[in-house]
Amino acid sequence: MDALLLSRLQFAFTIAWHIIFPAFSIGLASFLAVLEGLWLASGRDVFHTLYRFWLKVFAISFGMGVVSGVVMSYQFGANWSVFSRVASPVIGPLLAFEVLTAFFLEASFLGVMLFGEKRVGRGLHFTATVLVAFGTVVSAFWIISANSWMQYPVAYGPGPNGELRALDWAKVIFSPTFPPRFFHMVIAAYLTTSLVVGAASAWSLLKGRSVEESKVALRMAVLMYAIVAPIQLFVGDYQGKQVLTLQPTKLAAIEAFWESRTEQPFHLVAWPDRAQARNHFEISVPKIGSWITSGATSKRVTGLRDFPRDEWPPVAVVFWAFRIMVGLGLLMIALGFWGAWLAWRRKGPETSRTYLRACVAMGPTGFVAVIAGWVVAEVGRQPWVIYGLMRTADAVSPVTPGQVSSSLIGFLVVYAIVFAAGALYILRLFGEGPGAGAEEREPPERRAPGTPLAKTPDDPDPEAAT
């Protein structure tokens, strides 16, 4: 394998692994801010118990997000040095602003949030939580801004040595695809977190643990599914219409349209074949493909055959990733309406064990949908790294396949260990439930003092218990 393919594999692996954590921590930080705010406003202990519980989960996942994010600021140069040199005068400042406005804020106030409850007043502590939540959203702002410019570059010109330069910063930062993509990502993060919160709460309720706290958290999650999931459908649809005009090859790949025509069929299932430029095993609904993508069955939608073959993205991956994302999104909407109906016509979503099981099953789907969505965005942009301007193949560093294989193997091994451990520790917390820490409010500090876990009882260690 050559350094290009290996570098692409490494980037795909490290970025897909990384996005799990921001997607979760953007939503979780906001959830924590809401919980602490509700606690301060209402004085109800249940909110504080939930806050302490989800803070422990946050500490674990945020750490994994930070360390896998540091990789990104070096990987651009190590593996994509030509891209870095050419694009940096335009998107470099956006990435620098992410560090300056978001990373420092998050990192500094996270310490206060985790360890400062006894050191600062309640108001300051709440401020720290809000600042961390704000930082996560600001970080998303800059990174989506940079990525949106790469999806549809505007307001740039040639520099003196073959690199690009920005002509209008406002237009670069708020490039046309940015607003819907930013909202789409933030909403996705909120949904992803709600699904995890809902699943963990439903699990506790099924096991009959921490009932009071879990009921509250589950209701908050259901409220999010019912309101946010439908909004996401509309934001996503708006974004799709934009892709039709701004990135027509991506759209054709998403829908596996090969020929240009009006009344395009919508392919529910198909096996796109790039070599033969057609689909196998199609199951399609006639005419509505045009309607879904452009708003009217009479609109002519361009197929891939009308674009040069060397500008086609991989079709099957994009087509299927899109269907996974949308399919899961529709299930989330259904879960929201079902829960709302239970709350309205029954005594609450927690009364149906079937519903609780469905919530548990849907727990990880937000992550799957986020990764699938990014696959659509990034693979759909291929063969370009900057759409229409620079090909991915021309962006790679002068490094050897041996170097890239060794770093790729390093990531596979280290990320497997870290992911397994992190998932285990988070699931273990979910198994204990939020109430586990609240029963003993002030345990003797057997744990390392000064940690977020200092106030919780030790893990139930079977060897120690016997």
Closer Cβ to another protein, 286 or 402, answer by number? 402
Site string for another protein, 380-399 (x = CB under 8 A): -----------------xxx
- Binding positions for another protein, 355-384, rule CB under 8 A: none
Q: How far is the CB of 151 from another protein (least distance, A)?
A: 20
141 phi and psi angles, rounded to 5 deg: -55, -55
Task: Out of 48, 108, 274, 331, point to the residue binding another protein (CB under 8 A).
Answer: 108
Query: Smaller CB distance to another protein: residue 285 or 420?
Result: 420
The total number of residues shown for the chain amounts to 466
**In whole angstroms, how close is the CB of 231 to another protein at the nearest point?**
32
For another protein (CB under 8 A), the number of binding residues is 83
111 lies in the binding site for another protein (CB under 8 A): yes
Q: Which stretch binds another protein (CB under 8 A): 226-234, 256-264, 273-281, 448-456?
A: 448-456
Rounded least distance, CB 375 to another protein, Å: 23
Question: Of these, 98, 213, 255, 350, which contacts another protein (CB under 8 A)?
Answer: 98
Minimum CB–partner distance for residue 297 and another protein (Å)? 46
Q: What is the closest distance, in whole angstroms, from the C-beta atom of residue 57 to another protein in the complex? A: 10
Dig out the tokens for 193 from the structure.
């977190």
| Closer to another protein by Cβ: residue 112 or 187 | 112
Toward another protein, which CB reaches closer, 68 or 293? 68
Single residue of 16, 40, 48, 97 touching another protein by CB under 8 A? 97
Among 66, 211, 331, 368, binds another protein (CB under 8 A): 66
**Closest distance to another protein from the beta carbon of 123 (Å):** 14
Q: Which 42-61 residues touch another protein, going by CB under 8 A?
A: 59-60
- In the region spanning residues 156 to 185, those forming contacts with another protein, defined by CB under 8 A, are 159, 161, 163, 165-166, 169
Least CB distance to another protein at residue 25 (A): 13
Indicate whether 109 belongs to the interface with another protein (CB under 8 A): yes
Which residues ranging from 77 to 96 are in contact with another protein (CB under 8 A)? Answer: 77-78, 81-82, 84-85, 88-90, 92-93, 95-96
Q: What is the 3-state secondary structure (H, E, C) of the chain?
A: CCHHHHHHHHHHHHHHHHHHHHHHHHHHHHHHHHHHHHHHHHCCHHHHHHHHHHHHHHHHHHHHHHHHHHHHHHHHHHHCHHHHHHHHHHHHHHHHHHHHHHHHHHHHHHHHHHHCCCCCCHHHHHHHHHHHHHHHHHHHHHHHHHHHHHHCCCCEEECCCCCEEECCHHHHHCCCCHHHHHHHHHHHHHHHHHHHHHHHHHHHHHHCCCHHHHHHHHHHHHHHHHHHHHHHHHHHHHHHHHHHHHCHHHHHHHHCCCCCECCCCEEEEEEEECCCCEEEEEEEECCHHHHHHHCCCCCCECCHHHCCHHHCCCHHHHHHHHHHHHHHHHHHHHHHHHHHHHHHHCCCHHHCHHHHHHHHHHCCHHHHHHHHHHHHHHHCCCCEEECCCEEHHHCCCCCCHHHHHHHHHHHHHHHHHHHHHHHHHHHHHHHHCCHHHHCCCCCCCCCCCCCCCCCCCCCCCHHHHC
Which position among 2, 5, 45, 119 is part of the footprint of another protein (CB under 8 A)?
119
Is 405 a binder of another protein (CB under 8 A)? Answer: no
Complex with another protein: residue 169 or 238, whichever CB lies closer: 169
154 binds another protein (CB under 8 A): no
CA Rg, the chain, in Å? 24
Nearer to another protein, 166 or 270 (CB): 166
Q: Check residue 103 for interaction with another protein (CB under 8 A).
A: yes
Decide: is 9 part of the binding site for another protein (CB under 8 A). Answer: no
Backbone torsions φ then ψ of 175, nearest 5 degrees: -70, 160
